[in-house]
Amino acid sequence: MTTDTTETVTGSGIAPGVTQGTLRFFAPAAETPRAPAAKGEPETEIERFAQHVTSLIEDLRETVARLGDDPASPGADILRSHILLLEGSSLRSRVEETIRSSNLAAEAAVEHAIEEIVRVFEGSGNPVLVERAPDLRDLAIQLRQRLVGQRPSLLAGLPQDPSECILATRELLPSLVLEAHARGVRGFVVDRGTPLSHGAILAQSFGLPVLRVARLETLWSLDGSRVLLDADRGELLVEPAPADLAPRLAEVPPVPVPGPEPSSLARVWLNVMDPDQLVGVDWTGVEGVGLYRTEMLFLGGRGGMPSEEEQTRAYRALFQRCAPGRATVRTLDIGGDKALPYFSLGPQDNPALGLRAHRIYRFHPEILLTQVRAILRAAAGFPGLRLLFPMIECIEEWRFVQGLVDQAVDSLAADGIEFQDRFERGVLVETPSAVWSFRRLLEAADFASVGTNDLIQYLFAVDRSNLNVLRTYGPEHPVVLQVLAALARDAKKAGKPLAICGKAGSDLALLPVLIGLGITDLSVPINRAQAVRARLATLRLRDCRRLARECLRAETPHEVLELLGRPGSPPGPDVVAPRGADWVDPVCGMAVHAEGNPLTTVRNGRRFYFCSPECLEAFLRQPAPPDTKLRSKLSAP
């Protein structure tokens, strides 16, 4: 809750935490001149470029050596990947070719060549590759600075002392984050990037919160304002009243002392979608990877399914980074909200209820056979392997999938290839029919995990990605809690561990209820793991059980939220950040399409979109400019 006078800008947190400071706008690329004073012959330009690549590599090596002793920091690994990019032939030869073919100065050739590579990354549709684009832009700026003889610093152009600032900048370039951290910057506001970017991974490792908003330019007028950045709640409070500051800053979870004792209440695991995310991870009190979403591997690159060899390499990287812990690999869950651009799933009016995961293997068993062969080959010598099967609705689907897994095992044995033949098999509970089949499934499976993201969607028949129905989508609904309680009872009776790997598992307020219900394992995003551990360390089982009983007696989500000490309405369009080009109709509050929507008008330099002529007319009749709350809704991403 905020006081009525505080202006609030909403967004989404891509690195957690809460901080306060002065908002300062900064564009590192704009600070570097583009053209050289004089341009030489192509061979001279190539020579100049080569010299500066060498000097940049030397500087990066020095920084790596400085950072290298700290195993908890991913900085050294990230900079090592930059060195590899600079040493590799593809970047160098592209710049050299550009200098020769376009007769450009080295500065301009660097910019052109790197932008070309960035376009390929960004057009790949692979979220991990897309998030490597800032690394290349970072190197381009550093090379250009050196080529024009500028002092190599990404913060060089910032006139004010950046300490105690919150930087508003387009995207997080890794070296900008490193330098900003060293100079006392407290956090970032961006309008590009995800938690997968190296910049976000670094910011998180330094405890610097990052908020992503829809469009940075809508905040220009706030340059120099005192702000409170609450990335946990996805909010930026402008000139916050003291009453807004105190509770938020007090809410910052205590930084856990890296203790040897994991919480006895539940084991904490990590959710990842790319083994690279594990570089520099703090494994303190963490059991292993509880959910590796393998879909990302299938989204990238060549425009086809990755081969068994390619998959084997990727899974090997995961196991190497997890050892000696355990790793839970979820088999491919395409369909529904995760489509592959190169694989048609046929006509589907309702993809969430259509071909998805193992339903596809009825037509293409080779997809699962290849994947399981690759996983088992990569896990040779890694004893902590667990396979997790998504979207299993009932025992016959489980048996069908296990039949394919057994076939993969037999084929590897017949081929005489080294592979891991001891692994656990887990069922991912994501549908109401799996809930009703749970006892039978537990007899067959070694462990179970609840995919609350999908389970809530299918329990309530509410699309998890539709902003206008999210009011009905929340883990705090007593119906969800009753389902979880039943699953936990059955798992306990069967003596099998039960995890939550959906978003609900990292909801700090809900945590005592989940523990009280009997959940034994929590698999959470990397950037939530230590906060979840810290929260678990504050809980007592007896209190958790009492709270869970009270919540199970509640009739509405509001009552549960009150019991959790979080009164207010459950998520709805007014508090959930709209995505992409979707905006909020300022009259009715509905998320509407911006693109191609003719129902639009501009007021005070800002464009508004509407669901109907009636809402547009009602808006045009309003004489007053939109109030602060309205504006904050409109600035969400």
Query: Which span sits near ligand PEP by CB under 6 A: 311-319, 357-365, 446-454, 488-496?
Result: 446-454
Min CB(568)–ligand PEP separation in Å: 24
- The alpha carbons of the chain give a radius of gyration, in whole angstroms, of 26
Cβ contacts of residue 415 below 8 Å, gap of 6+? none
**Residue from 99, 140, 501, 561 that binds ligand PEP (CB under 6 A)?**
501
Contacted by 502, from Mg ion, ligand PEP, none: CB < 5 to 8 Å by type: ligand PEP
- 454 binds ligand PEP, rule: CB under 6 A: yes
Angle at CA of residue 465, ends 464 and 470, nearest 5°: 65
Contact 166, 186 (CB under 8 A): yes
Q: Which is nearer to ligand PEP, 465 or 622 (CB)?
A: 465
Residue 474 contacts ligand PEP per CB under 6 A? no
Least separation in angstroms between residue 450's CB and Mg ion is: 10
Any contact of residue 393 with Mg ion (CB under 5 A)?
Answer: no
Contact 294, 329 (CB under 8 A): yes
Phi, psi at 426, each rounded to 5° = -120, 150
Question: How far is residue 100 from each of residues 38, 291, 373, 491, measured CA to CA in Å?
Answer: 17, 48, 47, 67
Compose the 428-467 pattern: x for residues touching Mg ion by CB under 5 A, - for all others: --x--------------------x--x-------------
Work out what residue 131 binds among ligand PEP, Mg ion, none; the CB cut-off runs from 5 to 8 Å by kind.
none
In the complex with Mg ion, the residue whose CB is nearer, 76 or 524, is: 524
Residue 11 as a binder of ligand PEP (CB under 6 A): the answer is no
Per CB under 6 A, the segment of 51-59, 308-316, 447-455, 527-535 that binds ligand PEP is 447-455
Instruction: Please report whether residue 2 would count as binding ligand PEP according to CB under 6 A.
Output: no
| Candidate ranges 47-55, 226-234, 450-458, 545-553; the one touching ligand PEP (CB under 6 A) | 450-458
State the nearest-atom distance from the C-beta of 339 to Mg ion, in Å.
Answer: 14
Interface pattern 396-435 for Mg ion (x via CB under 5 A): ----------------------------------x-----
**Which residue has tokens 């959710």?**
271
Out of 193, 234, 253, 451, which residue is the one contacting ligand PEP (CB under 6 A)?
451
- Yes or no: say if 512 and 543 are a contact pair by the CB < 8 Å rule: yes
Task: Find the binder of ligand PEP among 73, 150, 218, 453 (CB under 6 A).
Answer: 453
With CB under 5 to 8 Å by kind, the binding choice for 199 among Mg ion, ligand PEP, none is none
Min CB(158)–ligand PEP separation in Å? 39
What is the C-alpha to C-alpha distance for residues 101 and 512, in angstroms, rounded to an integer? Answer: 64
CA torsion 578-581-587-590 (nearest 10°) is -50
Query: In angstroms, what is the minimal distance from the CB of 452 to ligand PEP?
Result: 5
Of the candidates 517, 581, 521, the one whose C-alpha atom is nearest the C-alpha of residue 544 is: 517
Tell me the closest approach of the beta carbon of residue 238 to Mg ion, in angstroms: 37
Bridge partners (DSSP) listed for residue 24: 167
The option from Mg ion, ligand PEP, none interacting with 219 (CB < 5 to 8 A, set by class) reads none
The contacts of residue 175 (CB under 8 Å, 6+ apart) are 138, 142, 154
Output the smallest distance, CB 357 to Mg ion, in A.
Answer: 9
Output the smallest distance, CB 140 to ligand PEP, in A. Answer: 34
Query: Could you tell me the two tokens for 541?
Result: 């089982």
501 binds, among Mg ion, ligand PEP, none (CB under 5 to 8 A by kind): ligand PEP
Residue 608: strand pairing partners: 601
Q: How far is the CB of 504 from ligand PEP (least distance, A)?
A: 8
Contact flag: residue 431 with ligand PEP (CB under 6 A): no
Do residues 520 and 267 make contact, with C-beta atoms less than 8 angstroms apart? yes
Q: Which two tokens stand for residue 79?
A: 């900079």
Q: DSSP string of 58-120?
A: HHHHHHHHHHTT-TT--HHHHHHHHHHHHHSHHHHHHHHHHHHHH---HHHHHHHHHHHHHHH
Based on the shown chain and the rule CB under 5 A, indicate whether residue 45 belongs to the binding site for Mg ion.
Answer: no
Least Å distance, CB 387 to ligand PEP, is: 15
Q: Please say which residue, 10 or 431, places its beta carbon nearer to Mg ion.
A: 431
Question: Mask 232-271, x = binds ligand PEP (CB under 6 A)?
Answer: ----------------------------------------
d(CA 180, CA 223): 18
Residue closer to ligand PEP (CB basis): 82 or 293: 293
Secondary structure class of 47 (helix, strand, coil): helix
Q: Are 516 and 549 in contact (CB under 8 A)?
A: yes
Q: How far apart are CA 65 and CA 73, in angstroms?
A: 12
Binding flags for ligand PEP, 293-332, as an x/- string (CB under 6 A): x---------------------------------------
> Based on CB atoms, which residue is closest to Mg ion, 179 or 454?
454
Q: Residue 387 phi/psi, 5° resolution?
A: -105, 135
3-state SS assignment for residue 406? helix
DSSP letters, 486-499, are HHHHHHHHHT--EE
Residues lying near ligand PEP in the complex (CB under 6 A): 291, 293, 430, 451-454, 501-502
Residues lying near Mg ion in the complex (CB under 5 A): 430, 451, 454
